[in-house]
Amino acid sequence: MHLAFPAKKVLSDIAYEIAGSFLIAIALYNFALNGAFLMAGFSGIALIIYRLFGVPMGWMTLLMNVPLALLCYKLLGRNFFLRSLRCMLISSLVLDYVAPLFPVYDGSRLLAAIYTGVISGLGYALIYLRDSSTGGSDFIMMAIRSRHPHLSYGKVAFCIEVVIIGAGGLIFQDVDGILYGMIINYLTTQVVDKVMYGVDAGKLTLIVTEKGVEMVRAIDRASDRGSTILCAKGGCDQRDKQVVMCACNSKQMHPIRKAAREVDPQAFIIILESNEVLGNGFKIEKPRR
38-86 tens-digit pLDDT: 888 888 889 889 989 999 999 999 999 888 888 877 777 788 888 889 9
Is the pLDDT confidence value at 97 over 90? yes
Is the pLDDT confidence value at 92 over 90? yes
Mean pLDDT of 9-28: 94
Q: Is residue 106 situated within a structural domain?
A: yes
Question: Is 192 found in the same domain as 242?
Answer: no
Round the CA-based radius of gyration of the chain to a whole number and report it. 24
Q: What is the pLDDT of residue 1?
A: 43
Higher per-residue pLDDT: 78 or 158: 78
Range of the domain at 94: 7-198
Is the pLDDT confidence value at 287 over 60? no
Q: How far apart are CA 166 and CA 40, in angstroms?
A: 9
Q: What is the pLDDT of residues 204-254, one digit of tens each?
A: 899 999 999 999 999 988 888 889 999 998 878 888 899 999 988 777 888
Question: Is 252 found in the same domain as 156?
Answer: no
What is the number of structural domains in the chain?
2
Question: Is 213 found in the same domain as 132?
Answer: no
Question: Is 192 found in the same domain as 102?
Answer: yes
- pLDDT class for 26, splitting at 50, 70, 90? very high
Domain boundary among 144, 178, 198: 198
Q: How far apart are CA 98 and CA 91, in angstroms?
A: 10
Question: Is 217 found in the same domain as 167?
Answer: no
Question: Is 165 found in the same domain as 236?
Answer: no
Question: Is 263 found in the same domain as 184?
Answer: no
Q: What is the pLDDT of residues 102-120, one digit of tens each?
A: 999 999 999 999 999 999 9
Give the pTM.
0.74
Question: Is 191 found in the same domain as 113?
Answer: yes
Q: Determine contact, residues 202/247, Cβ cutoff 8 Å.
A: yes
Q: Is residue 211 situated within a structural domain?
A: yes
Q: Is residue 187 situated within a structural domain?
A: yes
- pLDDT class for 152, splitting at 50, 70, 90? low
Higher per-residue pLDDT: 56 or 137: 56
Provide the b/e sequence for 160-198 (b: ≥16 CB within 10 Å): bbeebbeebbeeeebeebbebbbbbbebbbebbeebbee
User: For the chain, what percent of residues have pLDDT higher than 90?
Assistant: 39
pLDDT averaged over every residue in the chain: 84
Question: Is 125 found in the same domain as 236?
Answer: no
Q: Is residue 284 situated within a structural domain?
A: no
Q: How far apart are CA 160 and CA 136, in angstroms?
A: 11
Q: Is residue 2 situated within a structural domain?
A: no
Higher per-residue pLDDT: 77 or 264: 264
| Eight-state DSSP code of residue 3 | P
Higher per-residue pLDDT: 123 or 155: 123
